[in-house]
Structures are given as C-alpha cells and as structure tokens.
Chain A
Amino acid sequence: MIQTDSSPSSPINRVVQKMKTEFSSDPLSWLVILGISSFFVFFMVFPLLFVLVNSVYYRGSVGFDAFTFLFTNPKFFDPIPSSDDYYIRLVKQEDGITVISLSGLDFGIILNSLIIAVMTTLLSLIFGIFTAFLMARVEFPGKSILGGLLLIPLILPPFVSGIGFFALFGLEQGIVNRFFLAPLFGIKLVFEGLFAIIFVQSLHYFTLIYLNVYSSLMNADPSMEESAENLGASRMTITRKITLPLAMPGIISGSILVFILALEDLGTPIIFGAFGDPIAKNTMTYYIQDNIFAGQETTEIVQDSAALGAILLITAIIGFMFLRKYVSLREYSMVSKGRAGEFRTYNPKIVIKVLIYLYFVFILLLSTLPHMGILYTSFFTPGSRQFTLDFYRVVFASSESSGFLLFVKNTLVYSFIATILIIILATLAGYVANRKKFPGQSAFDALVTIPIAIPGVVLGIGFIRMFGSFPGNWGLLTLNPIVFPPTLLIISYTVRKFPFTVRAVFAGLQQTDEVLEEAAQNLGANKPRVLFGIVVPLIAMNIVAGALVSLVYTMSEVSTTLILINKQSYGNIVWKLADISGGDIGVFSAVGVLLMAIQSLSLIGTNLLLKNRAEALTGI
C-alpha cells in the first residue's frame, strides 16, 4: 500500500489549505480564471496541438518526413525560381496596346508566403510611419477628417479589396485600364502574383502601423522632446534621437502584427487564385484550405497541410513572443504621472503643406481605390458602363432561405452571438488579468492575447481534425463542424477576435483607480456587486468600443469561415463572396458594398468612442 503524507503540517496539506483559503476568499475570480483558461485550452490549444501532432504523426508513423518533403520539393521550397517567372513584363497586344504586367517570381509555397509577409510589412512600415509622423507632429488644416479617412482600409477585408482591384485593373474589364490607360496612353497595367498580393495587403495593413505609431507618438511625454529642444537639439536631431527611439516599441509591435496578419491572410490569395493567377495559389494558407482532408472517410488532415500549418503557427507564435516583449516595453515611453502640456506641432511652409496634401491624396487614392472600384462595379454593368440596380435587386430579391438575405442573416447571427460571448468573456478575463495577482498570471495573459497571432487556417483545420469525430446530434450544441458548422464557427470567431475586446477592457481598467472598487467593498459590496455595479459601468465605453471592433472583424473573418462552412444553408456573406469571386462581379460588389456599409457603421461608432486610443483597433 502506498503511504501518502497527509499529516496536518505536511507541505501538500499546507498547499491544499492555502489553495482552499485563496479560493474561498475570491471564488468569482478563480472561477473566471479556470473557466476562461479551460475555454481557450479546449478551443484553441487542443485543436492546434492536433495539427502539430498530425504534422509529425500520420497513419501510425512518427517522423519529420512531411517537413523533409516540403523543403526538398520545389513546389513548396524553391530558392532558385524558374526563368519563366518575371517581375515586370511588357507585351504588345495585337490591337497595339502594351500590357505592363507586374508579377514576381515563384519561390515555392513556403518562401512565397514569407516574402509576401516581409514585403507587406516593409511597405506598410514606410507608409505607416510617415503618415503617423505627419498626423502627430505636423500642423495642417483638415487633419481630423484625414484621421477618419485613413481608417477606411480597415473596413474591407483585403480579399474584397482584391476584387475592387480587378474592377479597376482587370485586363479586359478593369475600368482604369479600359477607359483611362488604354485610350490615353496605349497601355494596360496588370497586377499579378506576389506583387499583386503584397500591393493589396500593404494598402490595407499600413493602417495598423499608422495607428500603432501614432498612438506611441501621442502618448509619449511632450517634455522629453521639449527638454532636448531646450538643450539645443535641432528638429532633425530630436526626431532621430528622441521621437523615433520612443516610438520604436510602437513601430516594432505594429510591424510584427502586420507580419503575422499578412502571413496568415487567406482571402487575398483566394481572390487572385479565383481569377486565374497560378502564383497566388502557391501560398501556405491557400494550399492548406485547398488540401484539408486526407481521405473521404477520415478527419485526418493531409500531412503536407498539417506541416505547413505547423510552420505557419510556429512562425506566428515566435512573432507574438517578440510582440509581447515590445508591447510591454511601450510603457516606458508613456506618461506615468501627469503630463506637461501638449505636443507642440510643426507648422510647415505652404510648399511643404502642398506636398503633404499630395501625399495624402496619393495614399488615400491608393487605399480607397478598391472600395471605389467595388462601389462602381456594384452600380454599373461590366463593359457597357450602364447604371443599374440589378445587382442589388438580385441581392434583396433573393429569398431568405437560399439567397443573399440568408447570408446577411447568417452573418449577423454568427457575429452577434460571437460578440456577446466575447463581451462576457473579455470583460471577466480583462478584469482578473488586470486586478488579480495569481500564480500563472503571465501564462493566462498570454493565453487570452495570443489568438491575435493564431493563423485562422491552422485553427480551422485543427477544429476539423479535433471536432470532426465528435457526436453530431447535440442540436445547437453540436461541435462537429462537418455535421453542423455554426456552433464551432461562432466559437472560432469568439476565440480569434477576443483579443480586441480584452485589450480595450484592459485599457479601461488601467485608467480606473482600484480604490473605487475598494470603497465599494468597504461599504459591504461583494465581488459580483463590485464588478457589475462599479467596474462594468465605469469601463462600459471601453467594452462597447472593443466589442464593436471585434464585431467588425468577425464579420470579415475569412479563414475559419471558408474552412468550416460546408453548405449553402450555413453560408454567410464572406463565404458567399468567396463562392462567387470568380463569377458575377456585379453581385459580388453589391454584397461587398453591403458588408462595407455594416462595417463602416460599427467602425464610426468605435472611432467616436475610442478617439485616438488605437490599442483596441489593433488588438495589441
């Protein structure tokens, strides 16, 4: 018989006793910590582990064969691409028009994705930092309007922008090529391959860098720049030696975020792939969602996909670890106590101002072109430039059971339920993470913020692998996505878009003095009463704003949507958009415009509530 040490003074007993005391003194917090941890372990950690295991354990054998295969097969890894590929090519057509194609070499699936992520990050950095500096430190009329316009790129997922791009630069139908470049200059401009994806993504993601750097610049202590000025430093020196280093954590965290998002983006490759661009299909996310099941009767994942998923996941998590390091560093440059006045801004000469406006016209034109393209093609017939409402009629005339209204309804149902779950979970999680000291706090903190870095496609295939064999007869609680996708889809939205709200809640709590809670406790309020009577009303704005951001992003979530939805009747707008992306551009655009409208409303609300606090928008 095994003798266990259970005397009253044994260390185990004391630990158990301590845990009991700790739990009984604050049961609510402990239930939250345990509940939320279990939720994320069950719906995020486990599915991801399934993918990782699937990548090294396949049909009874263990090994790194899949990885060896990936790195020795030129389809996946091709550092020396074939000579047929080109960066830029000019071809004179029979009608005398020169087609200028901007493409890029095909370095194989793995390298392509990494190149896209790195190049998108670099381009976003250039535009993001420059824009943030202008907005934060230079004085010119119309700045507040520009502040709003700069958020436009956020209201369309990059893949809808992709369609907008075809509307403008498509070889035959593109408005710009057909009605502007060809008649006036005898040329047509075509974006293809990696170049097209990088271009579309950069125009979307530079906004995230801009928001991050802008918030770093606005939150720094003005006296830091002033003291340098006082000691005789020139404006250039101040920018180089003070402003930039202080904004560095913001710049780095913003770039890592863009890198991760660009790497895991599935929508853009899907669109360009659907329009027949072969190189666009050669990206990790495209390959994974196109090659999920290893066979007819199995929930096992194709091992190449699982291995690619593992590569994506590990890269993203490494990025996230750096991200956390720099996000905590950002606190250094923040004002801690009181703030000596406002930043004095630089009021440039008129010539410089004109140049600044030209820059903004250029950047806004580029970043809103896709939106204008979509808007145009939703009202005008392709080719004939005839105004029509037919596309909207198709959308609205469709019946609720099969047509677009069904997709709109599904979108709203999925997104709203997910957002409600997010509000509840994020408020509770943000509260304990901010207010309670407990062992394993940093692990908990990582658990609730890491979803921002988890590639949707990997989570998607993890869900299928893990839950695919679950019972399919639990009604609305059915987790098996093959039988009934909506429940797991809502959970996937909740997991993936949760960090945006938790970040906002956290920011709200940081600005709320804990003494307000102590005062209530002192007067006899118990924990739930303190939470719901004092804390929640005080940070209500932050919760609402964070929830709106989460809502906007759930409505445009692409990866798990496309992987999990397997039937028309469960389809939502994004799923339908991907379904018709190669087909009827007019109807597609009309749906895109509707999505844009719903998102704009949410985003305007968020902007009004959050003002310059970009944390919630970027989720870090």
Chain B
Amino acid sequence: MVELKLKNIDVFYDDFHAVKHVSLDVKDAEIVTLLGPSGCGKTTLLRTIAGFIHPVAGTVLVDGKDITYFPPQKRNMGMIFQNYALWPHMTIEENIGFGLKIRGVPSDQIVKRVAELLKVVQLEGQEKKYPTQLSGGQQQRVALARALAIEPVVLLCDEPLSNLDYKLRVELRTEIRDIAKKMGVTVVYVTHDQTEALAISDRIAVINHGIIEQVGTPFQIFHDPDNLFVATFIGESNLFEGTIEQIQNNSVTIKLDAGITITKHFETQIELNVGDKVTVMTRYDGFKANEQYPVVFSGKVKHKAFMGTYIQFELSLGNGDSLFYNEQEALDLIQTLDIGDELTVSLPTEKILVFNGAGARLR
C-alpha cells in the first residue's frame, strides 16, 4: 500500500510563486497525471515530490510519513526523464542495476533482476550495450526499467515521451500503463499532451498558473469540466458569448451574440440574474446535419477540410462568430457542399456547457 499525499504545497522561484497551495491525494497503484501548459508548475510539483525542490510551505506524505525535507536519495522514488538521462559511460545492465548496487544487493541478484526487467520492457539480451547504441524508444524503456528496478514507492515520469515520434509515443504510453498496472506501482506522470494524459491516467490533475484547476477521471475532465480553462485546454471547443434573457426556476434562456437562443435546464437554481453575461461552450462533435435537436446553428460554409475519418467545417454565423464542427456520418451528403453554401446543424441541449463571467461552470 502506497499513498502519496500533497498538502498545501507552496513553491517559489525567488519572487515567482510557481506552485500555489496545492493539495493532491494519489491512491495506491493509481496513475495520476499532472497536465497543463508550459510553465504551469507541473514539473515543479513533480520535482518537489522527487525532493529536488523544497517547498516553502506544505508537506509531502508517503503512507502518512512526512518526507517533505528528505533528500532525493532517501525517498526511494523512481523517476524517468524527458531525455532519458541514461549514463553514457555505463552499459544497459549497469544503468539498470545502479540503484540496486547502491542498496547493497548482491551482484548475482542484480544480474537476475536486470534480466527480468529487460524482459518486462522487451529488451532481452541488450545488457552489454551502451545507451548510445539504442534508439530513443529503447533508451526510454531502459530508463523505465532502471526506475522500476529499485521497486520504488512512487514512479515519477517527467514528460517521458516528449522526445519520441508519434507512433512510438502511442506504443510506449500503453506499455508504461500496462507495466505499472501489472507491477502495482503508484505513478505520478507529467505531460502537456492531453491525448497522452487521457490515455494513460486513472485520474488527471489539470494545472494552470500553479493551481490545480480540476482533478478527475479522463472522462470527467473531458466531458464534465469544472471551469472554462479545463474545458478549453482539453479537447477542441467552440465558445460563444451570450446574455441571460430569462430565468424560470432552474430553466434559463440564453441569447447568444450570434443571434441564437438556447434554453437549458440546470440541476440547481443558478446564482445569476437576467442580463448577466455567460459563455457557452460546445465540442466540435455531437452536431447533426440531418437531425433536429433543440439547439440549432445556421451559417455559411467558410472552410472545409477533409480529415480522414471526418470532415471539419467552419461555419460563419450571423455576427461573424465561427462554429467548428466535425461531421463523421453524413459524409456523402456533406461532400457536395461548397464554400459559401448555407448549412444548418443542431445538437442536444446537454451537449451545451455554460460558464459564468468568472469562468466557473454552471451546473
């Protein structure tokens, strides 16, 4: 059982407040991803967990034990780095066995363990090679084996796939997840790539400006964002400005600046008044061209791009706003449309998300 708890962590770089009062619980054998744009503080938070950075305030707990000021070498956490960080002067075997050697494991056991791990990462027989003789993907596999060799309490991954090409990234992220699950390791994973985060994580913590905006399963983060930042950072989204026209119990009518009127039912009474500004968001999918849903958008085709399994349209709405939508089904119907042609699409009300002026989700 390994549980990692971060409590009210604050990290400063001189005057810059890089991590602000962050708390996060990671359960045993869970894969939690810290996701956010460059400079949001995700790597800083990971390095705080690793012990390379000491927070100004807050605590890092592993199974209830305060390790906030432990040096990195006393934490027994494995880490994999963006550029692999394999030691070029050591063989693959020496790299993987390094942590075990420090722990005084007898050399015959090291050899055995290294062989096992090489099998896990599918690099059997490469013991005597040097890192430079391996490809990038293979090097990262070695780095993974090296981190796992010490049977870490937590595996920390700092954008481990950023230096690899797309196909290898997809392949390796599945592999990392499978191996972590098989070995039952608790993982904290840092990436700025949302697809990677969605694919690999049990839960995602979306970070922005040093603050955790939302923690949730990939499904929750994508379909049920708490705020406008999470909604726009993950996935593609259309945003429309609008004004509240009418409030009747939990039902609210919103008039978009683009001229479209939407009536949406909320779970609870919202704390807004008629005349207040809101932002309405939709994903690119969920629209239908040949069905009648309550929310209707009409406009002229501005751009049209064939994307393989779907066609992406940009419709110019009345006030100059654009609506992007991906058509996956009515490909025959849609292919005949040309730039400038009129098109009407609709989508169900539940696919519309509404945010108040401060960006908080109205539920």
Which A residues have a C-beta under 8 Å from some C-beta of B? 25, 513, 515-516, 518-526, 529, 534, 537-538
Contacts and interface: CB of A to CB of B under 8 A. Distances in A.
Given A513-B85, A538-B88, A522 B102 contact: no
Nearest to B74: A524
A529 B103 CA distance: 13
A522 B89 contact: no
Interface string B78-90: 1101010111110
B81 A25 contact: no
Contact of A523 (B52, B78, B88, B89): B78
Contacts of A534: 87
B73 interface: yes
A518 B73 contact: no
B72 A522 contact: yes
A413 B178 CA distance: 61
B114 interface: no
A521 B85 CA distance: 12
Given A522-B50, A523-B102, A516 B87 contact: yes
Contacts of B89: 537-538
Contact of B76 (A515, A524, A525): A524
B85 A524 contact: no
Contact of A515 (B72, B83, B99, B102): B83
Given A25-B71, A537-B89, A524 B102 contact: yes
A537 B94 CA distance: 14
Contacts of A25: 71
A520 B150 CA distance: 12
B146 interface: yes
Contact of B73 (A513, A525, A538): A525
B85 A519 contact: yes
Per CB-CB distance, the 5 closest pairs between chain A and chain B, nearest first, are A523-B99, A519-B85, A515-B85, A521-B72, A522-B79
- Count chain B CB atoms within 10 A of each CB in A516, A519, A525, A538 and give the residue with the most: A519
B77 interface: yes
B98 interface: yes
Contacts, number: 63
Interface in B68-127: 71-79, 81, 83, 85-89, 98-99, 102-103
Interface of B: 50, 52, 71-79, 81, 83, 85-89, 98-99, 102-103, 143, 146-147, 150, 156
Q: Of residues B50, B78, B83, B98, which shows the largest number of chain A Cβ atoms within 10 Å of its Cβ?
A: B98
Contact of A521 (B73, B87, B150, B156): B73
A521 B147 CA distance: 12
A518 B86 CA distance: 11
A532 to B, nearest CB: 12
Contacts of B103: 524
A525 B73 CA distance: 6
25 contacts: A25-B71, A513-B83, A513-B85, A515-B83, A516-B85, A518-B50, A518-B79, A518-B85, A519-B79, A519-B81, A519-B86, A520-B87, A522-B50, A522-B78, A522-B79, A522-B147, A522-B156, A523-B73, A523-B78, A523-B99, A523-B146, A524-B150, A525-B102, A529-B102, A537-B89
Nearest to A520: B98
A519 B146 CA distance: 10
Given A25-B71, A529-B102, A522 B87 contact: no
Query: Of residues A519, A520, A522, which shows the largest number of chain B Cβ atoms within 10 Å of its Cβ?
Result: A522
B152 to A, nearest CB: 9
Nearest to A517: B85
A472 to B, nearest CB: 47
A522 B143 CA distance: 12
Given A513-B83, A524-B76, 13 more contacts: A25-B71, A515-B81, A515-B85, A516-B86, A516-B87, A518-B79, A519-B87, A522-B78, A523-B73, A523-B98, A524-B102, A525-B98, A534-B87
